[in-house]
Amino acid sequence: MLRTNFKNSIIKSFYDKFSSFSDIKNYLFIGKVTEWNNDNSPPLANDSLQEELNAWKNMLICKRLNADDVVFVLRRINWTYGTVYQEYDDTLDLYSETIPLDFYVLTSENNVYKCIFNNNGANSEYEPYGTGLEEIITQDGYIWKYMYSVRPELEDFLTEEYIPVEFLDELSYTDQRSLQLDVELDSKTNKNGSISNIVVTQIGAAYPFAVDYDLVDTDNDTAHKVQLNISAGTSTIHFNVNSNISRINDVYSNNYVVYIYSGSGSGQVRTISSYNGTTGVATVDTPFSEDITTDSYYKILPKVEIIGNGTGALAIPVMNNLTKQIDHISILNGGSNYKEASATVKTVKTLEIEKTLVRVVISPFTGHGSNVIVELGCKDLMIRTRFDKEQIQSFNFYNDYRQVGIIQNVEVVGEQEQQQTYTLDIENINSTTSILISEDTADNLTAYLNAIDDGNVVIKQGSDNNIAQARGTYIDYDSNTRTLILKTVNGKFMAYPNSTVYPLVIEDYPVEGSDTVMSDVEITRTSPLNYYNDSTFSNGQIILGQTSKSTAEVVNWTPTFFGTDGKLVVRNLKGSFIESYYNDLGQLINGENLIAFDSINVNNGISGFQTDRVGVIKGVARTQVEEGVNTFRATTILEVTRPSGITTPFTDSDFSEDERIKQLTTLAEGTVVGWSVSEDGTKGTLILSGTLNTFQISTNLSYRIQKLVGGIYLTQDVVISGISSPQVTRYSGKIIYIENIRPVVRGDDQTEEIKIIIGLWGK
């Protein structure tokens, strides 16, 4: 079967064809003015050659599509009070096309949440709220994971059936996408392969000695409160002997845990290794890591033992206080890096029917929320475009149409390419700073720096108690010349006497988390090398991506104040630059290097290259440009007059929409899309689709126009004085989509919005 991952990959490849970097141009077309056999039930378009040929002949208008006209979409599932939502389960086909599962919701605030736990199939009565990184527990016991928010700019793509969703390919955002990016990075780095849920598959027998009460009774005589303060590192805990704890020695040993759920040291879970029922003192397997006081509340619960190839998972059971059976399992820590895991609820019962059986549910490999379009099963795109009334009026016809479709790389006569520009964020990879240390204080620094063998050690100026005014990565230190070399410097190092205010600081050295402050080192001179300045890049230069071999022409260059970064505006992009990105593990992968030159000559090669005109491409952003003319005519326009000697004026009723006309002699023919008459009635304009053969300008009576009336062509006193050929060259592109629809009636004052869903369905 085709997995959803594969469908998502294919649909993303198609989405990329709309990118500004793609060499494929996409157009949406409308056509077909004549009626179907049944306009209320149009025939399904088929994959035959004849269907494609007819679409070309019936075409009326083509409109260029761009990246803003297409988005990924998901099946819309509105959060509705009283509905049971499917919780995430790694054993289910969540993306089934025959039995779709409602495992995520869109809320009234246009936020999308994934259901992690549905409280044993309970009704959802509280709409999830919030955009944080941690899971959201609502009052009905549901657990939700915030995934993303629909930006206002994409609300036009919201329909009753679909929700827009975005694939993030930038390193930062200033709108709602920043929330989604935070979730993605947090999931990849902190929650990858976590245990999402532990499902109870068999309830089993009661656990009569379990103590699972929430904080209700604060009376010290009966409440489940710790009876003696203990310090971190202690392995014993004193339970309240006046409460309903068991008084049987070792009844809790090895099969139960103590859970501090409120007060000091809350959140700690320890296995009870021995227990004195008389004194209520339990010994735990691992010392407590935080202080616990007499204001701390505990629960004594059956132990949930998790075994797997990940680390850090921790769970406790939630008891039914009437039956003392386990109701469900609560995940305190999902851990990370689990690909395989199992869980057991410890018990002294030996009969299989008396055991509580559970099944572990593992999150996606990179965590919930790490890749929204994959996790929520996206396999559809929505293409949305509009024909406003000005565009309709410019083509001077208002006939209805019955077909829409998509063409790639059609030839358009007179189309002007938009002057698209791009902004590249560039990081200087060659900038360094040379720092000269005074001879009197060099010995204080030499021993430390000569011992450094880590290329990631950071040296800054300014102590921990002051804001570091400058910092850079250590490259080298020459003890003979007393010269320290740093790269990727942010800020400006300055010459300064030995001082506790602005000392040199070796960050995280010699041990991690411990800075070495060199307040007895004096800087006598600093020299920036290879820093960006206003003239590093200049207009008209060519830049080349060293990996992608893409090129572009520089339009504008703006370096940052310190010369470590800058923004390049370029045009005439050939290819696609590789920018920095976060991989599935949340690691930052640097973009490709670029180099700049004055020109590239086929015979002489590169000219004007300098070593300081280099950098790493951190990001590429398409700059918005005016759309200009992006709608093109696929019809033929005939200017007609009366033959010599005939003065009868034209009227609106001479030709009607959808009539078939033919020219004598040439036998060229077409279907009338529109007919208009000049004010004095001496001239007329015929707009035709579905033309065959070639019309010819002629006043000769043997080239008059005929029109089809009652199955017979009747000759009219009309000759052709001018012809405007279609702007769209028929058969020049590749039609990749056709949809037959019910008639869309047009008017001179309306705006038409067309939405098309492209997806992969089936096994």
Task: Take residue 376 and report the two structure tokens written for it.
Answer: 């929520």
Give the per-residue pLDDT at 69: 92
**Over 50: is that where the pLDDT of 163 sits?**
yes
118-150 pLDDT per residue, tens: 999 999 999 999 999 999 999 999 999 999 999
Same domain, 120 and 255: no
The mean per-residue pLDDT over the stretch 672-681 comes to: 94
598 and 712 together in one domain: no
Checking if the pLDDT of 723 tops 80, the result is yes
CATH of the domain at 142: 2.170.290
Average pLDDT, the chain: 88
Residue 627 has pLDDT above 70, yes or no: no
**574 CB-side CA count, 13 A:** 7
pLDDT of 161 over the 90 cut: yes
Residues 329 and 187 in one domain: no
Reported as a pLDDT band with limits 50, 70 and 90, residue 630 is confident
Same domain, 205 and 334: yes
Answer for the pair 220, 296: CB distance below 8 angstroms, yes or no. no
Quick check: is 28 in a domain?
no
Q: What pLDDT band is residue 398 in, cutting at 50, 70 and 90?
A: confident
Residue identified by tokens 């509340």 is 297
Q: Average pLDDT for residues 105-116, to the nearest whole number?
A: 97
Domain presence at residue 20: no
The average pLDDT across 472-478 equals 86
The answer to whether residue 61 sits within a structural domain is: no
- Which backbone phi and psi does 189 adopt, to 5 degrees? -95, -30
Instruction: Compute the average pLDDT of residues 336-340.
Output: 92
Clarify whether residues 320 and 249 are in a common domain: yes
Is the pLDDT confidence value at 417 over 70?
A: no
The reported pLDDT for the residue numbered 529 is 79
User: Would the CA dihedral through 172, 174, 180, 182 be positive or negative?
Assistant: positive
Tell which residue, 101, 109, 95, has the closest CA to residue 83: 101
Short-list 636, 637, 672, CA closest to 654: 672
* The total number of structural domains that make up the chain: 5
The answer, yes or no, to whether residue 3 has pLDDT greater than 50, is yes
Q: pLDDT value at position 391? A: 62
Domain boundary among 529, 560, 594: 529
Q: Which band of pLDDT confidence, cut at 50, 70 and 90, is reported for residue 113?
A: very high
For 441-468, b where at least 16 C-beta lie within 10 A, e where not — what string?
bbebbbebbeebeeeebbbbbbbeeeeb
CA distance 6 to 631: 34
Q: Which residue has the tokens 């080239």?
A: 703
Q: How confident is the model at residue 612 (pLDDT cuts 50, 70, 90)?
A: low
CB atoms within 10 A of CB 751: 12
How far is Cα 538 from Cα 553, in angstroms, rounded to an integer?
Answer: 10
Q: What stretches of 320-378 adopt beta strand conformation (E)? A: 326-336, 341-345, 357-362
Q: What is the model's pLDDT at position 602?
A: 47
Mean pLDDT check: name the lowest of 246-250, 587-591, 734-738.
587-591
Which of 501, 529, 557 is the endpoint of a domain?
529
Task: Mark whether 270 and 126 lie in a shared domain.
Answer: no
| Boundary of a domain, candidates 471, 506, 529 | 529
Q: Are residues 586 and 615 in the same domain?
A: yes
How confident is the model over 272-311, as pLDDT tens digits? 999 999 999 999 999 999 999 999 999 999 999 999 999 9
Alpha helices by DSSP H, listed for 127-249, are 177-190
541-568 mean pLDDT: 88
316 and 204 assigned to the same domain: yes
pLDDT reading at 433 higher than 90: no
In a domain, 546, yes or no: yes
pLDDT of residue 581: 83
- With bands split at pLDDT 50, 70 and 90, how would you rate the model's confidence at 215? very low
Residues 358 and 286 in one domain: yes
Residue 73 to residue 570: CA distance in whole angstroms: 32
Range of the domain at 461: 432-529
The verdict on 114 and 218 lying in the same domain is no
- Confidence bin at 709 (pLDDT 50/70/90): very high
Which of 62-76, 456-470, 478-492 shows the lowest per-residue confidence on average (mean pLDDT)? 456-470
Tell me the CATH number at 715.
2.40.30
- Together in a domain, 204 and 351: yes
For residue 394, pLDDT over 70 is answered with no
* pLDDT tens digits for range 739-751: 999 998 877 667 7
Burial of residue 193 (number of CB atoms within 10 Å: 0-12, 13-18, 19+): buried
Q: Does residue 715 belong to any structural domain of this protein?
A: yes
Per-residue pLDDT at 250 exceeds 50? yes
**pLDDT of 475 over the 50 cut:** yes
**Alpha carbons 661 and 719: distance in angstroms, whole number:** 12
Residue 58 lies in a domain: no
178 in helix, strand or coil?
helix
Same domain (yes/no): 218, 354: yes
Over residues 185-197, mean pLDDT: 91
Does a structural domain hold residue 720?
Answer: yes
| Contact indicator for 363, 333 with CB cutoff of 8 Å | no
Residue 746 lies in a domain: no
Kindly state the percentage of the chain with pLDDT values over 70. Answer: 92
pLDDT of amino acid 623? 72
CA distances from 634 to 55, 676, 707 (A): 11, 18, 21
